[in-house]
Amino acid sequence: MAAGREAKLQLVQRHVRAFPDFPKKGIVFRDICPILKDAAALKAVIDLFEEHVRNNHQHVDLIVGLDARGFLFGPLLAQRLGIGFVPVRKKGKLPGATVSVSYDLEYGKAEAEIQEDAVAPGQKVLLIDDLLATGGTLYAASELMRKQQAEVLGCMVVIELKELNGTDKLKPHRVFSLIQY
């Protein structure tokens, strides 16, 4: 199984495209779009996430995906696991009663929210997104789960930018990343 896992990781890594100086000079943007347009690479991502969940989180109730790229991987994983999916959206995008938190961005503040009845107290959830940089968005999602009295079992991302130390902001939650730069 280890050889199969390694081959899948290599396939995923080959499908991450680097764009230097985007969105501004000095930043290397890691583009996951090639993963999405290649069925084998996309399947490899979901296979690897599923393997991680089945090996480490036997009792999970919901996958919680972050706006917007967590929406690409979260529902596929939730379907494989036979559980539900909950979106965390930017403020003002969800109908009905919502719960929100504000968080810091590099150049200001933002707000994230979920529908008030999306997660019940005591439910066990895993957070998913495409990339972990500074950890602000995943931290906001974990705060939403805390407000809802849900238990965050961990965070999962396709790519982790290690030098930005996003995992520090997410402690005590563990982060599982497929690829690290």
Residues annotated as part of the active site: 69, 106
Q: State both tokens at 33.
A: 């779009």
What residues form DSSP beta bridges with 128? Answer: 65, 156
Task: Please tell me the distance from the alpha carbon of residue 85 to that of residue 65, in angstroms, as a whole number.
Answer: 7
Q: State both tokens at 54.
A: 């089945």
- The dihedral over CA atoms of 160, 149, 140, 70, expressed in degrees to the nearest 10, equals 50
Q: What is the DSSP letter of 123?
A: -
Task: Please tell me the distance from the alpha carbon of residue 73 to that of residue 46, in angstroms, as a whole number.
Answer: 7
- 3, containing H or E segment: helix 2-14
Q: Do 126 and 64 meet the contact criterion of CB atoms below 8 Å apart?
A: yes
In 3D space, the residue among 181, 169, 100, 95 whose CA is nearest the CA of residue 138 turns out to be 169
